[in-house]
Structure 1
Amino acid sequence: MKFKNLLLSWKYPSILLLGIGISNFGAWVYFIALNLIVLDLTNSALAVAGLYIVKPIAALFTNVWAGSVIDRINKRNLMVALDLFRAVFIALLPLTSSIWVIYSVVFVINMAGAMFGTTSRSYITKLIPIEQRKRFNSLRSLIDSGAFLVGPAIAGILFLIGTPILAIYINAVALFLSGIITLFMPNLEKDRSLEQSDSSLSWKIIKQDWAIVLNFSRQYSYIMFMHFLFSCMMVMATAIDSQEAAFAKAVLFLTDTDYGFLVSIAGAGIIVGALVNTMIVSKIQISFLIGLGSLFVSVGYIIYSFSSSFSIAALGFFIIAFSLAFANTGYQTFYQNNIPVEIMGRVGSVFGLLEACLIIITTTIVGVSAQFISIQFVVITGSIIMFALTILLFILSMKPSKSRYYSVKSVEAKDL
Structure 2
Amino acid sequence: MNMKNLIKDLKTFIILWSTQSLSQLGSAMTSFALTLWVYEKTGSALQTALLSICSYAPYVLMSIFAGALSDKWNKKKVMLVCDTFAALCTVMVLALLKTDLLKPVHIYGLNMINGLMNTIQQPASDVAMTMITPKKYFQKTSGMRSFSNSLITILNPVFATALFAFGGMESVICVDLTTFVIAFGALLFGVKLPAISDEGAQSGLTLWESAKSGLKYLRDHDLILVLILFLAGVNFVASAFDAVLPAFILPKENGGEKVLGIVTSCAGIAMLTGSFLVTLLPKPRNRIRVIYLTMLISLGTENYLLAFGRTPALWCLGQIIGWLPVPFMSANLDVILRTTIPVDMQGRVYSCRNTLQFFTIPLGTFIGGFMVDKVCEPVMASDFGAGLLTALFGSGKGAGAAMMMFILGVAGTAICLVFGRILRKYRYTD
Question: 2:32 & 2:2 partners in 1: Cα distance?
Answer: 44
Q: How far does the alpha carbon of each residue in 1:101-125 deviate from its partner, in whole angstroms, 9 at most, with x for none? A: 1100011001111222221111112
Question: 2:364 & 2:214 partners in 1: Cα distance?
Answer: 25
Matched residue count: 397
2:303 aligned residue: 301
Give yes or no for contact 1:56–1:359 (8 Å, CA) kept in 2. Answer: no
1:258-277 superposed matches below 5 A: 258-277=259-278
1:402 aligned residue: 426
Give yes or no for contact 2:22–2:179 (8 Å, CA) kept in 1. Answer: yes
2:79 aligned residue: 79
2:360 aligned residue: 358
Residue of 116, 119, 136 corresponding to 1:114: 119
* Displacement after TM superposition at 1:392 (Å): 3.6
2:214 aligned residue: 213
Residue of 190, 193, 208 corresponding to 1:187: 193
Give yes or no for contact 1:236–1:362 (8 Å, CA) kept in 2. Answer: yes
Change (3 A) 1:3 1:364: closer
> Which deviates more from structure 2 when the two are superposed, residues 387-396 or residues 171-180?
387-396
Give yes or no for contact 2:215–2:352 (8 Å, CA) kept in 1. Answer: no
1:413 aligned residue: none
Rg: which structure is higher?
2
1:190-339 superposed matches below 5 A: 198-199=203-204, 205-250=206-251, 253-282=254-283, 285-299=286-300, 300-339=302-341
Question: 2:161 & 2:103 partners in 1: Cα distance?
Answer: 25
1:42 aligned residue: 42
Change (3 A) 1:72 1:138: same
Question: 2:288 & 2:345 partners in 1: Cα distance?
Answer: 23
1:388 aligned residue: 414
- Structure 1, unaligned runs of 5 or more: 409-416
Question: 1:385 & 1:268 partners in 2: Cα distance?
Answer: 26
Q: Is the partner of 2:33 in helix, strand or coil?
A: helix
Residue of 345, 349, 370 corresponding to 1:368: 370
Please tell me the residue identity of whatever aligns with 2:69.
V
* Identity value in percent: 20
Please tell me the residue identity of whatever aligns with 2:270.
G
Question: 1:47 & 1:34 partners in 2: Cα distance?
Answer: 12
Change (3 A) 1:243 1:108: same
Please tell me the residue identity of whatever aligns with 1:266.
A
Question: 1:387 & 1:237 partners in 2: Cα distance?
Answer: 12
- TM (norm. structure 2) is 0.84
Q: How far does the alpha carbon of each residue in 1:31-78 deviate from its partner, in whole angstroms, 9 at most, with x for none? A: 210101111222212111111211331213422421221111111221
* Displacement after TM superposition at 1:140 (Å): 1.2
* Displacement after TM superposition at 1:2 (Å): 6.2
Question: 2:94 & 2:284 partners in 1: Cα distance?
Answer: 48
2:139 aligned residue: 134
* Displacement after TM superposition at 1:23 (Å): 2.2
Change (3 A) 1:19 1:285: farther
- TM (norm. structure 1) is 0.87
Please tell me the residue identity of whatever aligns with 1:147.
I
Question: 1:7 & 1:278 partners in 2: Cα distance?
Answer: 14
Question: 1:49 & 1:380 partners in 2: Cα distance?
Answer: 25
Q: How far does the alpha carbon of each residue in 1:65-106 deviate from its partner, in whole angstroms, 9 at most, with x for none? A: 212211111112211221122111122113332211110001
Q: How far does the alpha carbon of each residue in 1:165-209 deviate from its partner, in whole angstroms, 9 at most, with x for none? A: 3212322332332222222212323899xxx9934xxxx823322
* Displacement after TM superposition at 1:219 (Å): 1.6
Q: Is the partner of 1:163 in helix, strand or coil?
A: helix
1:346 aligned residue: 348
Q: How far does the alpha carbon of each residue in 1:393-415 deviate from its partner, in whole angstroms, 9 at most, with x for none? A: 44455x3x533x2x22xxxxxxx
2:379 aligned residue: none
Question: 1:269 & 1:190 partners in 2: Cα distance?
Answer: 38
Q: Is the partner of 2:72 in helix, strand or coil?
A: coil
C-alpha RMSD of the superposition? 2.6
Change (3 A) 1:45 1:94: farther
2:398 aligned residue: none
Give yes or no for contact 1:86–1:175 (8 Å, CA) kept in 2. Answer: no
Question: 1:391 & 1:281 partners in 2: Cα distance?
Answer: 26
Question: 2:230 & 2:87 partners in 1: Cα distance?
Answer: 34
2:384 aligned residue: none
> Which deviates more from structure 2 when the two are superposed, residues 85-94 or residues 384-393?
384-393
Give yes or no for contact 1:65–1:206 (8 Å, CA) kept in 2. Answer: yes
